[in-house]
Amino acid sequence: MCDTFVMMPEMTADGSVIFGKNSDREPNEAQALEYYPPAQYPPGQKLKCTYLEIPQVRETFATLVSRPFWMWGAEIGANEKGVTIGNEAVFTKMPLNRGVENLTGMDMLRLALERADTAQNALDVIINLLADFGQGGICGYEDKKLAYHNSYIIVDPTEAWVLETAGPIWAAKRVTDYYSISNGLTIGEAYDEAHPAIISTASKNGWLKKGEVFNFAKAYSDWFFTTFSACKTRQQRSSQLAGQMDEKSTVSDAFAILRDHGGITPYRPDRHFLMHHVCAHSANGLSRHAAQSTASLVGHLNPTLQTFWATGTSAPCTGIFKPIWFDGNVLPDLGDTPAGSSDSTALWWRHEKLHRAVLSDYSTRIQTYRDERDAVEQSWLEQTKHIMQASRGEFCQQAFQQADGLLADWTGMVQAVDIAEKPNFVYRNYWQKQNSKVGLTII
């Protein structure tokens, strides 16, 4: 489960394109924030994706990706040309393929970043991969039955596309002002490009009645899973926030959208049953297990400069966004690649000590450091407006180092705060089990 949005130049204060995504997955499914340099390959080279081996291309672009540690594909990412993509699980009436003979939606996302220099070309890459290899495979970490189809927001510094799929069928729409997607199909009667059999397939299966106007989302959506993912609530909220700012939007506003809990104050993550909020927190094994925001990325895209802001951690409401450019070494050393158990050498797991301590009494403990976190981010945002190219790599390194020191300080501060109001028993029991699985002791 995820949420992705884009705001086009007419919606932003500086005429840039601003992209944001939260990747929502299982709570112990650590994500790796990684940089891969450009590369060249000999003819006939093969590439092993998550399940399927496919032909490699001769040349790939440099990429920045966030991927669940166990898969090759990525949930969010960008490349050196400014192409930036986020995907969503969507649930449709078309059959699912749980075998290993297809590419996952995350594979297609990463392949598009490696192979495309514009949003239009990335759209074409995914459409061609869908036709050549199909989409499928198990996409859950612990849940070995979870499979789904995919939707995408694909952007570059000048344009953006929404691509939504149902098995091999797809529809694409160019974004003109702003757009957000969650875990349901959103493209209706109007689209700019589509699979040639999009209408005939719906008619053949009885999803389009004679005389009805064709609506892609209405015809192809699976009602049950789409409804109980609470995607409509989240999509409406992110769309409202992206499109109804009192003033034109900034990168700070993108951070706020990804941290949004529906405007509820004080917010308590144990107080709702479904996955209702853009900033998502797992809470039970039934309706909110694969519901933890495990990675977040914001892209600030101008034709002459693209700046990316990543947490490299779960829960953007408890984490801090750090600036990244495709300059120098791109990423500092983030420690070991996180895996499926607690590891103090990995940034993602170091942050989990803080994140899960906050979850023990969210409304009380988040106040311990939230203002300081926001002030540090604002300082970095101001500094990055004027930074020279030669200094970007060093600034990124320093920001990550400063954030790591703050992480240690904040963890100690939060753990020292007495719990004023315990969450309900189901919630506490759920998190105790999750922490036990990975060897985390939370104070």
* Interatomic CA distance for residues 297 and 74, integer angstroms: 12
The Cβ of residue 333 has, within 10 Å, a number of other Cβ atoms equal to: 10
pLDDT above 80: residue 228: no
pLDDT band at 246 (very low <50, low <70, confident <90, very high): low
- Is residue 319 within 8 A of residue 351, CB to CB? The reply is yes
Residues catalogued as catalytic:
2
Tokens read off for 343: 């590891």
Distance of CA 291 to the CA centre of its chain: 12
CA distance 435 to 251: 33
Q: What is the pLDDT of residues 19-52, one digit of tens each?
A: 999 999 999 999 999 999 999 999 999 999 999 9
pLDDT tens digits, residue range 424-435?
Answer: 999 999 999 999
Closest-CA residue to 82 (of 298, 250, 254, 301): 301
Crossing angle (nearest 10°) for helices 251-258 and 370-384:
150
Helix (H) or strand (E) holding 236: helix 231-243
Out of 164-173, 180-189, 217-226, 340-349, which region has the weakest mean confidence (pLDDT)? 217-226
User: Contact 295/75 with Cβ under 8 angstroms?
Assistant: yes
**Cα separation of 199 and 216, whole Å?**
8
Q: Give me the phi and psi of 46, to 5 degrees please.
A: -110, 155
Q: What structural domains and CATH numbers belong to the chain?
A: 2-332 (3.60.60.10)
Tokens representing residue 371 in the block: 């203002």
| Conformation bin of residue 82: beta by default, left when phi > 0, alpha when psi is -120 to 50 | left
Q: Tens digit of pLDDT for each residue in 360-401?
A: 999 999 999 999 999 999 999 999 998 988 899 999 999 999
CA-wise closest residue to 76 among 52, 106, 48, 103: 106
Cα separation, 187 vs 175, in Å, equals 11
**What residues contact 280, with CB distance under 8 A and at least 6 apart?**
1, 3, 22, 24, 288, 291, 292, 293
Residue 140: what pLDDT?
96
C-alpha closest to that of 274 among 317, 234, 239, 217:
234
CB 30 within 8 A of CB 348: yes
Model pLDDT, residue 6: 98
Instruction: Outline where 30-187 has alpha helix (H).
Output: 105-115, 119-133
**Residue 309 clears pLDDT 80, i.e. is over it:** yes
Show the CA angle centred on residue 157, arms to residues 155 and 162, nearest 5°.
20
Say yes or no to pLDDT of 244 above 80: no
pLDDT of residue 247: 78
